[in-house]
Amino acid sequence: MKGNRKVPGLNSSSTADISFILLIFFLVTTSMDTDMGITRRLPEWQPNAQEEEAKVKERNLLIVKVNSDNEILVRKDVIKITELKDIAKEFIANPENKDNLPAKEEYEIPGFGTVVTTTKHVISLQTDGDTQYEIYFKVQNELSRAYNELRDEWLFEQYHKHSRDFAEDADEIVYAKGMYPSKISEAEPRQYGAANIQYAE
């Protein structure tokens, strides 16, 4: 009866401890924090930018300039950062149909229908070489906030729900972005100004 001999089992009671140690090591070294930030899209690179001048009507253009003293200038007035959001909101939406703010046009949002909105507005953000990044970032943040608040107000008007109550990839969110598409132009450098944006007419 030699073949029937039992093999003693390997004592594996410490395997759990070993794997626990490994687990704790990975737990500690894992950086679960996801990167966050403000997303923007740069314009396409044009080698001869001077020749390709964007033609924007004056009423459709809001120039926000941050100068080397970190002052924010809108339409040549120095403003505080707290004022910027409301100026931007009024400019983007033009709620009172003013002549000096962007013209409203009929525009079809795919899947939603036709809306009347300012289709051609552009916010031009300009900086000096010595402008501090922190201020620039805050201005970007305020401009994003203007868009997000407008979209949120529009969603509430349409669906009586706030944007945070929708799923992140809901169609309604896409419609709101179609209603107020973000149009922030970051000016060509070295010209430091509206040099590349010419007023038409």
Partner 1 sequence: MPELNTSSLPDLIFSVLFFFMMVTSMREVTLKVVINQPAGTEIEKLVKKSRVTHIYIGTPTKDYRSQLGPGTRIQLDDDFAEVGAVQDFVIGERKNMAERDQPYMQVSMKIDNDTHMNIVTDVKQELRKAWALNIVYSSKKTNRVE
Sites of contact with partner 1 (CB under 8 A): 12-13, 15-16, 18-20, 22-23, 26-27, 29-32, 34-45, 66, 81-82, 85, 127-134, 136-138, 140-142, 144-145, 148, 186, 189
Give the shortest CB-73-to-partner 1 separation in angstroms. 15
Give the shortest CB-26-to-partner 1 separation in angstroms. 4
Distance CA 67, CA 119 (A): 28
Nearer to partner 1, 90 or 186 (CB): 186
User: 62 is written with which tokens?
Assistant: 């809001």
Nearer to partner 1, 18 or 200 (CB): 18
Nearer to partner 1, 81 or 170 (CB): 81
Give the shortest CB-182-to-partner 1 separation in angstroms. 11
Burial tier of 182 (Cβ tally within 10 Å: 0-12, 13-18, 19+): middle
Give the shortest CB-55-to-partner 1 separation in angstroms. 21
Distance CA 47, CA 82 (A): 37
Determine the length of the chain. Answer: 201
Nearer to partner 1, 57 or 145 (CB): 145
User: 187 is written with which tokens?
Assistant: 């000016």
- Spatial neighbors of 151 by CB under 8 A, at least 6 apart, are 163, 173, 176, 177, 179, 180
- Spatial neighbors of 182 by CB under 8 A, at least 6 apart, are 144, 147
Give the shortest CB-59-to-partner 1 separation in angstroms. 26
Nearer to partner 1, 1 or 38 (CB): 38
